[in-house]
Structure 1
Amino acid sequence: MPTLGKEEAKGLQEVLASGMIATGEEVERFEREMSSYLGLRGAVAIASGTAALHLSLLTIGVKEGDEVIIPSFTCSALLNAVFHCRATPRIVDIDEETMNISLATTRKALTKRTAAIIIPHMFGNPVENMNGFLSLGPPVVEDCAQSLGATSCGRMTGTWGAVAMFSFYATKVITTGHGGMVASMDEKIIEQARDLRQYDKKEDYKVRYNFCMTDLQGRMGRIQMGKLPSFLKMREERAQLYDKYIKGLKGVALPPDKGIYYRYVVKISEGKLKRVLDQLQQEGIEVQRPVFRPLHQYLGLDGFEATERVHAEALSLPLYPRLEPEKVSSIALCLSKALEDSDSND
């Protein structure tokens, strides 16, 4: 659920009154503020997170015939971005504990055609062994759609790889409605992303896109960035409440104690997930599987044991800055009851 206030409404009204609602000064300021926050040399605002991921791959030279390694336990936007480049996705398994991409399975998937590795920091939980992935050789694209503000070994996610992408969809850490960002320390990557984002008024011809962000979105992003520290603090506080209420419940494993808690993902053991999920949804609680369907299932692939186990157990509980503490307590109580009911039905 997006966290919006009077500041966003006032800012949008000011942009509308200016008459400049396409890509202009507000977008440029948003880009500068984002790159400054990350400590990178540049950032390019894009129309969506998927488009940002697509351009990220293009800027590092991914092309037809190449392979791109991606984890199975993530959303299908990664598949789309790879296919948009006419490349071939190489799906790998995850680390069962962290639910992030596995270094071991990534290493085994490397071939002479590997052109990139996409590393999502799932649910705001940063990948901790980034140096291990960097040592493999192919360029790393960091998928920070869920991890803006998270740190890995003292460095912000998005500052490790050759290029990083961010998403500002309505339910992301900060929002511009739709929108995304490409960020990098490499100025050539930034120049390429900026060139590919807009197709008109170019001296030469090549396939380019209409992936521009509007000034309305740019102003909203700037306002949201100003609120980011408070957003992260409130997420952590609500996660700590969940820990307090849920710790000790039989058959429930808590999420890793790190990151920014974009989502609060628990694991429900002993084959009870569907019954618990259904009961909580019937009570009006917006719980869901954190990944709708693993990518290897879409492609009809076998052998992803860790992903299959996590998908069979993972449950995402509501967590957003405006979630009232009393609501956290209520959700935890409903979860406890759903588990008891599930036990009684066995």
Structure 2
Amino acid sequence: MNSMAANEALLLLTGSLCLHLLIVVIKILHKYWWTPLRIQHEMNLQGINGPPYKFIHGNTKEDMKMKQEALSKPMATLSHDILPRAQPQVQARLNLYGKNYLSWAGNGLVAAEGEKLAKQRKLANSAFHGESLKSMTWAMIASVEMMLERWKHFEGKEIEVFEEFKLLTSEVISRTAFGSSYLEGQKIFDMLTRLSVLTYRNQFNVKFPIISKFWKTAYSIEAGKLAKGIHNSVMEIVKKREEKVFSGEVNSFGTDFLGLLLSTFHDPDKKNRLPEQDLVDECKTFYFAGHETTNSALAWTVLLLAIHHEWQEKARKEVIEVFGNQNPHSQGIGRLN
């Protein structure tokens, strides 16, 4: 009897494991095979085509190969037409499929949608409308003055402007959006950069449902540590702002980006309240995305001005006509072409 009971228990356990494994396989196939193919079919019916979806990886391997090929060759000429070099996969697909096409990053596109997107746009619009931007001018000027003062020590020497603008944009974002200095945000910037590099190098790794919870790669462990470090560092800045309000030192969280996030974070209506993870994610996105795009745009603008002296002279003449020897101000900026 004991032997039969043991066999029945073993069969029951084996059956449960098989059923569990079958459910996991079905979930994986549904997420990484059925759903992308269904979306691709529906988009094709609407006349929107694109490269075929590849199981799990989408088009990322193909994208990476195109980027590596483009970056392996020097630019034939210095030109502001850099799409074939910076985003060769986009250029190739625009030529092949037209302006509207479907491509795949892994098993889909990462984006906010619905109510969350509406909340994000509302926060961004409130933080960066016209009047708010005017009040940020002084902070931008202070950061630029610090950079120019630092450049005096390099007189007669070459300056790596990309790295200099990296410091500048980091300082401006820290001052204007979070009311802190670059030194406070430096740790966050560094960890975000390391996490970005780590993610880029391991973009073909796929997390399978359930399995990934028990079996972690060296990449996922390191990425988890960085994510936790970023979370804690952001919350340190948040706590400092909260303490000023709770102690009565100031009467509001402020009108900058962090202040608006905190006002939503502490909204009396629980339905409208921003969860802590969303607050941290918003800060992470703004720190990194805003920094990278602005930094690259500034560096490329300086390169183009260096190549085209006539543009440089025209820009200098206009700035002097509007501002003379004064620092830039919001009224004058609106008059620039």
Taking structure 1 as the reference length, what is the TM-score of the superposition? Answer: 0.25
**Which structure is larger by alpha-carbon Rg, 1 or 2?**
2
Ranked by relative contact order (alpha carbons within 8 Å, sequence separation 6 or more), the top structure is: 1
Which structure has more strand as a fraction of its residues? 1
Task: Report the structure, 1 or 2, having the larger helix content.
Answer: 2
